[in-house]
Amino acid sequence: MKFGKWLKRQIEQSLPAWREHFLRYKELKGIVSSAAPPSPAEFVALLEADIDKINAFFIEQEEEFIIRHRELQEAIRRAVEREAAAEVAAIRREMVNFHGEMVLLLNYSSVNYIGLAKILKKYDKRTGAALRLAVVETAVLGQPFFTAEAVSLMVKECEAMMMFPAAAAAASASAGPGEAMAAAAAEQRVFRDTVAALLAMEDVRSGSSTRGRHSLPPLTLPDSDWLRSFQPPSPIPIQTQ
């Protein structure tokens, strides 16, 4: 699958409020392919505007997630202390959704980074310039959206937080059959969306057999074979050219 089509699909599968915050890949590709592409300085200025937009959005979401993460930690502590089964069940559903949103944000990071790398490669090929490594080095490495350290850590902590089996079992036992089935179906839908995002990240971040300073940082994600057992269709590979 061509990267442009793959990117469009990733954007369509993201949260609606996020869609305008992705890299303007199609627009930038049109600029690169025009009869008179911009000078290197002009093109870098265009990219930096998009990088600033992506980074600002990522930081905003990250800050909101940090607050929600702390609130969930406190809510779990109180619910478990009170042995409030119904409350535990509600928190668990909220945690599944929260985990899914954080995974989508990590996918947002991966998708935008590879889009930047690909549009720079197209510009270099079209003009004979050598911008890609220099721009990544000066404008991307070290940016919060590239490293994604805090969100990656919260994803793992959230997964650990969801493993409070005694409380979860008590909650399931107290729920009626209809309520339990509805909750399970909702969680499964969110989980499958999360799995799709995780596999997309894995495909993007493991695309090269070698790793270097300009590679996306590795993520500590659940076992790949275990993830793929939950995914109905096989992922469509991204065309690298």
Tens digits of residue pLDDT in 55-77: 999 999 999 999 999 999 899 88
Binning pLDDT at 50, 70 and 90, where does residue 142 land?
A: confident
Binning pLDDT at 50, 70 and 90, where does residue 160 land?
A: confident
Residue 100 CB: number of other CB atoms within 10 A? 23
**Contact assessment for residue 115 and residue 23, using Cβ atoms and an 8 Å cutoff:** yes
Question: What's the one-letter identity of residue 187?
Answer: E
φ, ψ for residue 63, nearest 5 deg: -65, -40
The three-state DSSP-derived secondary structure of 32-79 is HHCCCCCCHHHHHHHHHHHHHHHHHHHHHHHHHHHHHHHHHHHHHHHH
* Residue 128 DSSP label: -
Task: State the burial class of residue 223 (Cβ atoms within 10 Å of its Cβ: 0-12, 13-18, 19+).
Answer: exposed
Please check the confidence at residue 184 and state whether its pLDDT lies above 50. no
Rounded to the nearest 10°, the torsion over CA 39, 45, 47, 51 is: 170
* Residue 84 DSSP label: -
Q: What's the farthest any 2 CA atoms get from each other in the chain?
A: 69
**Contact assessment for residue 217 and residue 147, using Cβ atoms and an 8 Å cutoff:** yes
Binning pLDDT at 50, 70 and 90, where does residue 121 land?
A: very high
Binning pLDDT at 50, 70 and 90, where does residue 193 land?
A: low
Please check the confidence at residue 169 and state whether its pLDDT lies above 90. no
